[in-house]
Amino acid sequence: MKNTIFSFLTAAGLLFAGCHQPDELLPSVSRNGINSVTAQFVKNNSEGAAEFYGEFKGYPTEGSDEITVEIPWFYPESSDDVVSGKMLDKMRISLNLDDNVTVDPAVLYMNLNEDNYITVTDQLKQKKVYKVRGRIVKSKACLLEELSLPSQGLNAIIDQETKEVSLIAAGNIEPCTGTYRLSYHATISPDPATTVIDWNASPKLTVTAYDGVSKTVYTVKKEVPAKVPTGIRSGSQKNLFVSETFKTDYGMSGTTNYTLGILGDHLLICSGESEIVYVNKLTGVKAGTVNMGGINLGGGAITSDEANHIVMCSIAANGASQTIYRLDHVTDTPKEVMTWSNATGGKIGSKISIKGDIDADAVVTINCWAWASPANWSSFVRIIVTDGVWGTPEKVTIAGCGLWNGGNVDVEYLSTDITGPYFKASYSTNGAEWIDGATNSRVAFIDKGANDANSNFANVSCAVFNKSPFVAVFGGSHFAYSASRAILLDVGDRNLFTGTFDNTKAKIYASTPKYLAVSGTASCDILLSQSSDGYYLYLYWIGGNTNYIRAEQWDCVDK
């Protein structure tokens, strides 16, 4: 299907202007004419204006003149809210048409409880009448999406192609219950949550969809799946969740400084002051709110180490005190780690990063800045943790880097070796910078892309996954029409760390840019994390100015 600007304008014009004579531009092959029908629920807001939500599609099938739009039994599908027939009485309709195709009558709304007839005239002036209606259907989804044995500290690897579930264990697994996640409204038998199962005996688990008919049978095996030699498996990328309304979804009201951290099975989202919510890190479903115990970070930030701890810091001006806290469980209250007097000459604390384990060895970096025009700042704060003991904060200056003059800067080490590489991103350099830890000087650089001028690439995160080093950067919306996008880079070869975000050979993933007509504080973050078993790599990014959050997953399972 060709989604050209021309076809978009043609379809849009049909909605408001009705039928018109198309241009004489005929393709060599005439296609369906109509490719899909999209329906949305309609509701009136508090001011009486129509709002549309949900998106359900119907498609023509060869040899049929009917297009049925299937609408889920529950909406949202994760809820227990049943869709009523009345909700189909008036639905907003849009049509996806081929080039130079018209439809009569013009369509804007339909009662999908009834038969609706439209006449489609294709590129060859041939007409076909379609009957369009809706149908509320029970879900056929029947997947086992997660399985864990908390008492054994085991998380299963699920191969949806072979329907095999791998529990990574060298010895016998003690019979026990487990936790799981299924397709919405599906059931499982036997139920691991209530049944003690002998996981050593290759049990079978049957997942039944809400329709009561569709089933999937999984075989659980105790084994260690092979990994690809290094890095991620090609083709393993999977979107976990995305929301363009996360503040509403999670009930968040803060606007100051959105940052992220991972704690166990949860992704924590902090708005910069005294508001932190936690969501399931694989589904994005809100699970709760952290009790801050009266702590207000004043615009500060959170992050996570590599051993299941959250660390957070407050904002501190030059000459003021900064407090650093830790959180070890989502049901705990943050505990103070240290308070120190900031004498760097700049303001600190809108970004914090960690490599290592704060109960063992770690290196902590905190951004630092002072306002000047033109920009002239090139230093950050570093704290070395040894055997769980936090050292004295020190100011580190980078030579030959892009200078900055605001809090939009992020620095993170690749490992706990401070003589090894670390990476930096800042506004308005808007690129990714490779810093040699031994000399604290920039040795490689990837510049912004052709359409990144208004963006705010000031967020960076690092991880070594399956023996390969990766760096992620994110540009949040800052000025009107900023290119908000995340980029994942393989940094195994410094010689490839060059070019621009558009053409660098180090790039292995880039999200589709979102050009949004928003301006104001970027208030964004990016986070690379991996599963405790080392089989999955997760990438999260958030834009507090755009109300946008997204999560992607890769794996290293050799299939």
Per-residue pLDDT tens digits for 189-234: 999 999 999 999 999 999 999 999 999 999 999 988 889 999 999 9
Residue 230: inside a domain: no
Residue 59: inside a domain: yes
pLDDT of residue 13: 40
- 212-224 residue pLDDT tens: 999 999 999 998 8
pLDDT of residue 31: 57
Question: Which among 407, 352, 410 is positioned nearest to 385, based on CA atoms?
Answer: 352
For 11, phi and psi rounded to 5 degrees? -65, -40
Same-domain status, 129 and 157: no
- 411-455 residue pLDDT tens: 999 999 999 999 999 998 999 999 999 999 999 999 999 988 778
**Alpha carbon distances (Å) from 327 to 311, 362, 483:** 6, 16, 34
Per-residue pLDDT averaged across 43-71, rounded? 92
Q: What is the DSSP letter of 12?
A: H
Residue 229: inside a domain: no
pTM above 0.95, yes or no: no
pLDDT of residue 514: 81
pLDDT of residue 517: 67
Residue 150: inside a domain: yes
Identity of the residue numbered 518: V
Same-domain status, 103 and 157: no
Three-state DSSP at 288 gives: strand
Q: Which residue has the tokens 């599906």?
A: 186
Q: Which residue has the tokens 């990014």?
A: 541
Three-state DSSP at 200 gives: helix
Same-domain status, 390 and 477: yes
More confident residue, 21 or 473: 473
Q: What percent of the chain has pLDDT over 90?
A: 78
Residue 227: inside a domain: no
pLDDT of residue 484: 87
Same-domain status, 484 and 352: yes
Residue 232: inside a domain: no
Same-domain status, 254 and 218: no
Same-domain status, 273 and 148: no
Bridge partners of 278?
268, 288
Confidence of residue 45 (pLDDT cuts 50, 70, 90): confident
Question: Which among 300, 288, 293, 291 is positioned nearest to 254, based on CA atoms?
Answer: 300
Lowest mean pLDDT among 5-14, 108-117, 462-471: 5-14
Which CATH number does the domain housing residue 417 bear? 2.120.10.30
Q: Which residue, 188, 222, 256, sits at the end of a domain? A: 222
pLDDT of residue 545: 86
pLDDT of residue 150: 82
In degrees to the nearest 10, what's the CA dihedral of 434, 437, 438, 439? 60
* Token code pair at residue 439: 């000399």
Same-domain status, 183 and 213: yes
- 77-90 residue pLDDT tens: 989 999 999 999 99
Bridge partners of 386?
389
Residue 261, classified by CB atoms within 10 Å of its CB into exposed (0-12), middle (13-18) or buried (19+), is: buried
Residues whose CB is less than 8 angstroms from the CB of residue 253 and which lie 6 or more positions away in sequence, other chains included: 247, 271, 275
Same-domain status, 371 and 396: yes
Q: Which residue, 104, 121, 137, sits at the end of a domain? A: 137
pLDDT of residue 32: 67
Q: Above 70 in pLDDT, residue 18?
A: no
Residue 90, classified by CB atoms within 10 Å of its CB into exposed (0-12), middle (13-18) or buried (19+), is: middle
Q: Which residue, 137, 168, 184, sits at the end of a domain? A: 137
Q: Which residue has the tokens 């044995």?
A: 149
Q: Cis bond leading into 105, ω under 30°?
A: yes
pLDDT of residue 16: 37
Same-domain status, 327 and 461: yes
Report whether 460 contacts 410 (CB < 8 A): yes
In degrees to the nearest 10, what's the CA dihedral of 353, 546, 281, 334? 50
Q: What is the DSSP letter of 231?
A: S
Mean pLDDT of the chain: 91
pLDDT of residue 23: 41
Q: Above 90 in pLDDT, residue 383?
A: yes
Question: Which among 317, 386, 314 is positioned nearest to 351, based on CA atoms?
Answer: 314
- By residue count, the chain amounts to 559
What total of structural domains would you count in the chain?
Answer: 3
Q: Are strands 127-137 and 116-121 parallel, antiparallel or unpaired?
A: antiparallel
Confidence of residue 9 (pLDDT cuts 50, 70, 90): very low
- 344-368 residue pLDDT tens: 999 999 999 999 999 999 999 999 9
Report whether 148 contacts 154 (CB < 8 A): yes
Rounded to whole angstroms, the Cα distance separating 110 from 93 reads 7
Same-domain status, 294 and 216: no
Residue 39: inside a domain: yes
Domain that holds residue 402: 238-555
Report whether 386 contacts 361 (CB < 8 A): yes
* The three-state (H, E, C) secondary structure of 408-423, written as one string: CEEEEECCCCCCCEEE
Per-residue pLDDT averaged across 525-533, rounded? 93
Same-domain status, 131 and 163: no
For 15, phi and psi rounded to 5 degrees? -65, -30
Which CATH number does the domain housing residue 195 bear? 2.60.40.2340
Same-domain status, 107 and 162: no
* Token code pair at residue 464: 């070594």
DSSP 301-357: EEEE-SSS-EEEE--B-TTSEEEEEEESSTTS--EEEEEEE--SSSEEEEEEEEEE-
Rounded to whole angstroms, the Cα distance separating 214 from 308 reads 38
Rounded to whole angstroms, the Cα distance separating 418 from 358 reads 15
Residue 374: inside a domain: yes
